[in-house]
Amino acid sequence: QKEVEQNSGPLSVPEGAIASLNCTYSDRVSQSFFWYRQYSGKSPELIMSIYSNGDKEDGRFTAQLNKASQYVSLLIRDSQPSDSATYLCAVTGGGGAQKLVFGQGTRLTINP
Amino acid sequence: DAGVIQSPRHEVTEMGQEVTLRCKPISGHDYLFWYRQTMMRGLELLIYFNNNVPIDDSGMPEDRFSAKMPNASFSTLKIQPSEPRDSAVYFCASSLTSYNEQFFGPGTRLTVL
């Protein structure tokens, strides 16, 4: 089982709709969770971090964390064509581990 | 702050040559990470440093790869000798602490012919 799993997509969403990206992780003691956006040919850019169960909102983005289910998601409201990118879920280990483990990424396309 | 700086941005070399990639982390960040990204394997952690000391190099693929961090503002990743399968984008990232967000540099696109 991969440590961090994402649906590779592509996920196609009409402009203005809600895009929902999902991620599961295997290390039950993971403590920190991140969503990165990566445009083609560019470096990963941090868009959200979440550390405790529940929702965290930042503008059009909402991260949701459920540690019991080992599940983290990212919602993008009012999707724009500029949101078209690959979204990477990343998780740090628990128990003193300091590595950031990335999922394979979900390719999102917003259709005008 | 200028963010993480990497050089060169692109490198094309021939098999067998030595390649050196450079990174300047964000000032004040205690952690520095080197990643490699390919279509097949995604984003892989190669090695990371804490306060200039290598902590975990288990991701370094072979002895041909080495990394150093002589001071808080500079790190190198060296491949000697290079092989075509080393072709990838190499990213450097830094973070304030081990559980904080990592900030990535623009990457070096390496092509080994």
Q: Which residue has the higher pLDDT, A38 or A32?
A: A38
Residue B85 class from Cβ within 10 Å (0-12 exposed, 13-18 middle, 19+ buried)?
exposed
pLDDT of A28 > 90? The answer is no
Contact B101 A88 (CB under 8 A): no
**Mutation choice for B interface testing from A27, A40, A58, A98 by most B CBs within 10 A:** A98
Instruction: Kindly identify which residue of chain B lies nearest to residue A37, measuring between CA atoms.
Output: B104
Q: How many whole angstroms separate alpha carbon B64 and alpha carbon A105?
A: 29
| Contact residues on chain B for A103, CB-CB shorter than 8 A | 42
Chain B positions touching A51 (Cβ under 8 A) are 99
Percent of chain A clearing pLDDT 90 (strictly above): 79
CA distance linking residue B52 with residue B45, whole number of Å: 17
Q: Which two tokens stand for residue B26?
A: 């964000």
Tell me how many degrees the CA angle B5-B17-B62 measures, rounded to the nearest 5: 75
> Which chain A residue shows the shortest CA-CA distance from B108?
A43
CA–CA distance, A43 with A37 (Å, rounded to integer): 8
Q: What is the mean pLDDT of residues A23-38?
A: 91
* The pLDDT of residue A34 is above 80: yes
Chain mean pLDDT for chain A: 91
Residue B85: helix, strand or coil by DSSP? helix
User: Which of B26, B35, B43 is the best residue to mutate to test the A interface, defined by the most A CB atoms within 10 Å of its own CB?
Assistant: B43
CA distance A76 to A20: 7
Binning chain B into helix, strand and coil, the percentages to the nearest 5 are: 5, 55, 40
Are the CB atoms for A73 and A89 separated by under 8 Å?
Answer: no
- C-alpha B108: how far from chain center: 9
Nearest to A105 among B42, B45, B50 (CB): B42
- Please state, rounded to an integer, the average pLDDT across all residues of chain B: 94
Interface of B with A in 5-64 (CB under 8 A): 31, 33, 42-43, 45, 48, 50, 55-56
Beta partners for B105?
none
Q: What is the mean pLDDT of residues B16-29?
A: 97
Section B55-59 average pLDDT: 90
Task: State residue B1's pLDDT score.
Answer: 63
